[in-house]
Amino acid sequence: MPEPFLNYIAGRWVPARSGRTFANHNPATGEHLGDYPASGPEDVDDAVEAATRAYRSWRLTPAPKRAEIVFRAGEIIRERKEELARAMTREMGKILVEARGDVQEGIDMAYLAAGEGRRMYGVTTPSEMPNKWAMSVRAPIGVVGVITPWNFPFAIPSWKLMPALVAGNTAVFKPAGDTPEMAWHFTRIFEQAGLPPGVLNLVFGGGSQVGGPMVEHPGIHVISFTGSTDVGLGIAGRGGALGKRISLEMGGKNAIIVMDDADLGLATDAIVWSAFGTTGQRCTACSRVLVHPRVHDALADQVASRASRLTLGDGLDAATEVGPLINAGQVATVEQYVAIGRGEGSLVAGGARATQGALAKGHFHQPTVFAAVQHDARIAVEEIFGPVVAMVKVKSLEEAVEVNNASRYGLSSSIFTADVNRAFAAMRDLETGIVYVNHGTTGAETHLPFGGTRGTGNGHREAGHTMLDPFTEWKSIYVDFSGRLQRAQIDNA
């Protein structure tokens, strides 16, 4: 790989205009992985100019031809899956089996989005007038600004950029500073797949120097953002004031409900995977368990026992079950919440940084479980984004639903029960964008819509049959072949 890595603007790999760079490190070992452009507003200007020029011809390229390039990108990703997964584990820290899943989502989205190039359905409908044709079609919006996080550094760009490009938009892409290499690979793959210059532009850098200028830029018409709720709401306020389309995917405080008739072994498996997979750094991670008092203690014991036996380490080691947190700041955040939690519940597993042996070189924290936590405790309502789960007692399904729906967030929820009536009531009443029955809170599939309610999102959904919605406008078209002026609603009265 070339060192240092570069921005990709107008089909060329270029340094930041300032010449400044920032370093990328392995969160498990501290290894230096490369240097990347520390870009600024002037680089954003260059990228937007390139995207604007490219849009003139890209929107006129037939959608099936646009889709063929996305499909070819999917084929390249499939061929390079293991290489990309290993690069992701080195850069982000998640264990290799999870990194493979992240890359697989990119493959799945490429094939799914490419299919839209031959669908992209509109609607035909009868006109109220004789000899008149009425229909609606999707149209691209223009230049899309995509701002992505570090926890799914390949999947999330795929969810956003692949539909945007198939729909005929061009893009400026700002990845998270903690995972720049995966964005570099993603963009290289599209270059190799034959994407014309300027259609996809990659700009590395921080939020204030790149993300903020993208939101403010008059040449960017859509902002698609995944990240924290506070940052997302700030983008919504500023971007909305400028008349931009804003699509937000933000925080989560996801609950697994465990009723007294649940299979506790299955529930334990799901809680451990949902809470500690990706070291708890998923927007869909389970960070609270709403459990019936009759089974609370038994479930807490089982989850704590499993959590305490999980193997921490470098995600490239096949024996590792939990990798590092992304950086030192995230470790400090988890430590702060664990300290708060000691005064809010009973600590039954974990509770400290993991620094033994080789772990001292990275950003590790023990999987942590608190039991007998009040439903309004800080560790039960605030997003931690780390390997910490709080167990809360609820006397009934109705109380569990009430506690779940009182959250600031509304991404994912789950219920474990053997009662089909309870299951269907939960499916109806849980106010989250995703609901699971007898499964954890993680594991969404690309062909269904992904997104949440309240502080998790602003109404848009990614993936599934909704993937084009943030990136297209509806255009209604009327063709009158009557040979005379027909006035809707007036002549038809």
Q: What is the pLDDT of residues 307-356, one digit of tens each?
A: 999 999 999 999 999 999 999 999 999 999 999 999 999 999 999 999 99
Catalytic amino acids?
249, 283
Burial 387-422 (b: 16+ CB within 10 A, else e): bbbbbbbbeebebbbebbbebebbbbbbbbbeeeeb
Q: What is the pLDDT of residue 274?
A: 98
Domain 254-437 in CATH 3.40.720.10:
no
Q: What is the pLDDT of residue 488?
A: 87
Alpha-helical (H) ranges within 277-419 are 293-309, 328-341, 378-381, 397-405
Instruction: Write down the CATH superfamily of domain 7-250+457-476.
Output: Aldehyde Dehydrogenase; Chain A, domain 1 (3.40.605.10)
pTM above 0.95, yes or no: yes
> Other CB atoms closer than 10 Å to residue 144's CB: what's the count?
29
DSSP letter, residue 218:
T
Q: What is the pLDDT of residue 489?
A: 86
CA-closest candidate to residue 362, choices 26, 24, 28, 25: 28
For residue 107, report the phi and psi dihedrals to the nearest 5 degrees: -65, -50
Q: Where in the chain is the domain with CATH 3.40.309.10?
A: 254-437
The answer to whether residues 232 and 248 touch, using CB atoms and an 8 Å cutoff, is yes
Please write the tens of the pLDDT for every residue from 353-393: 999 999 999 999 999 999 999 999 999 999 999 999 999 99
Q: Where in the chain is the domain with CATH 3.40.605.10?
A: 7-250+457-476
Question: How far is it, in rounded angstroms, from Cα 131 to Cα 129?
Answer: 7
The answer to whether residues 109 and 336 touch, using CB atoms and an 8 Å cutoff, is no
- End-to-end CA gap in the chain: 70
Task: Return all residues near 144 (Cβ < 8 A) that are at least 6 apart.
Answer: 160, 161, 164, 169, 170, 171, 172, 220, 221, 222, 223, 224, 471
Q: What is the pLDDT of residue 3?
A: 59
Residues of the chain where predicted confidence (pLDDT) is lower than 70 = 1-3, 493
Q: What is the pLDDT of residue 492?
A: 72
